[in-house]
């Protein structure tokens, strides 16, 4: 029973962080200093994650291509390899891979950073100076994730599709031009929209969860470790559940 109350309290706290941080988004864009912080966070979210995201996206596309291609080859339908890989990536795997990378690399860093600030009294110091931690710390970080996640997801889709094409050309005898033509012919605007919507939702959830876990940190270094761990686990679960719900909403 106590755990259920704790769960509801955590969800309520994350909801409060989400709403109050979102209300500060305009001031992040309006204030000169906040814009500078937003640029720093955009760099941390979008540029510093690129090497890992590239490898993850490339191999996701390659694995998809190999698995799907082998099955298609059994029915002499290799010409649809591009479409199958592209549709899977754009609808599901690109935002999913992007979400997992951002949760593991950016969300964990946010939770650890804010958690350390919490146990070092820096958050209390901000409150005493009449500086809202949600405006000063949370809003730029969450907004950066919301803005970058769709871009990273789109980038994942392109890299994954190219990776799939390379596997098709080198191991499945599918011409790269034919593969790309098939890929481009089947993907619709709706698929792109839903994929980007998923990524945006994942960015919002990862940011909110990581900030709320960081701000809820207690009990020193051990608490920071636990908050970071919880931020990643809860973000992964939120990505899975919200990903299913968005798919259900748009592809019934």
Partner 1 sequence: MVSFDAVTKRFGDAVVLDGLTFSVAKGEVFVVIGPSGTGKSVALKHIVGLLEPDSGTVRTSSDRIGYLFQSGALLAWMTVWDNVALPLVETTRLSDAEIDTKVRAALTAVGLEYDADKYPSEISGGMQKRAGLARSIVRDADIILYDEPTSGLDPVTARSIDRLIFRLNRERGITSVIVTHDLAAALRLADRILLLKDGKAAFCGTPAEFLASTEPNVAEFVSAMKGGTDEKEE
Q: Which residues bind partner 1 (CB under 8 A)?
A: 33, 117, 120-122, 124-125, 127-131, 136
Q: Say if CB 213 and CB 230 are below 8 A apart.
A: yes
Other beta carbons within 10 Å of 128 = 9
**Closer residue to partner 1, CB minimum distance, 100 or 109:** 109
Q: Say if CB 152 and CB 49 are below 8 A apart.
A: yes
Q: How far is the CB of 138 from partner 1 (least distance, A)?
A: 14
Other beta carbons within 10 Å of 183 = 25
**Closer residue to partner 1, CB minimum distance, 45 or 88:** 45
Q: Say if CB 140 and CB 38 are below 8 A apart.
A: yes
Q: How far is the CB of 113 from partner 1 (least distance, A)?
A: 9
Q: Cβ neighbours of residue 183 under 8 Å, at least 6 residues apart?
A: 82, 83, 85, 86, 161, 165
Q: How far is the CB of 129 from partner 1 (least distance, A)?
A: 4
**Closer residue to partner 1, CB minimum distance, 132 or 247:** 132
**Closer residue to partner 1, CB minimum distance, 71 or 122:** 122
Q: How far is the CB of 8 from partner 1 (least distance, A)?
A: 19
Give Rg (Cα) of the chain. Answer: 20
């Amino acid at each position: 029973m106590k755990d259920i109350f704790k769960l509801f309290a955590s969800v309520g706290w994350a909801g409060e962080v989400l709403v109050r941080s979102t209300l500060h988004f305009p001031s992040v864009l309006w204030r000169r200093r906040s814009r500078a912080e937003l640029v720093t966070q955009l760099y941390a979210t979008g540029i510093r994650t690129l090497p890992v995201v590239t490898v993850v996206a490339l191999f996701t596309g390659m694995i998809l291509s190999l698995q799907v291609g082998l099955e298609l080859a059994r029915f002499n339908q290799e010409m649809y390899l591009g479409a199958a890989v592209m549709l899977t990536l754009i609808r599901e795997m690109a935002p999913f891979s992007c979400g997992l990378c951002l949760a593991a690399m950016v969300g964990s860093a946010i939770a650890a950073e804010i958690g350390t600030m919490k146990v070092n009294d820096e958050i209390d110091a901000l409150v005493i100076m009449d500086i809202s931690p949600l405006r000063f710390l949370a809003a730029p970080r969450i907004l950066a994730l919301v803005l970058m996640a769709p871009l990273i997801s789109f980038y994942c889709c392109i890299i994954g599709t190219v990776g799939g094409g390379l596997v098709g050309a080198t191991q499945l005898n599918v011409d790269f031009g034919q593969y790309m033509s098939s890929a481009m012919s089947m993907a619709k605007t709706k698929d792109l929209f839903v994929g980007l919507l998923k990524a945006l939702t994942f960015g919002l959830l990862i940011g909110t969860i990581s900030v709320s876990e960081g701000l809820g940190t207690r009990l020193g270094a051990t608490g920071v470790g636990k908050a970071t761990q919880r931020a990643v686990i809860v973000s992964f679960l939120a990505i899975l559940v919200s990903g299913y719900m968005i798919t259900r909403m748009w592809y019934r």
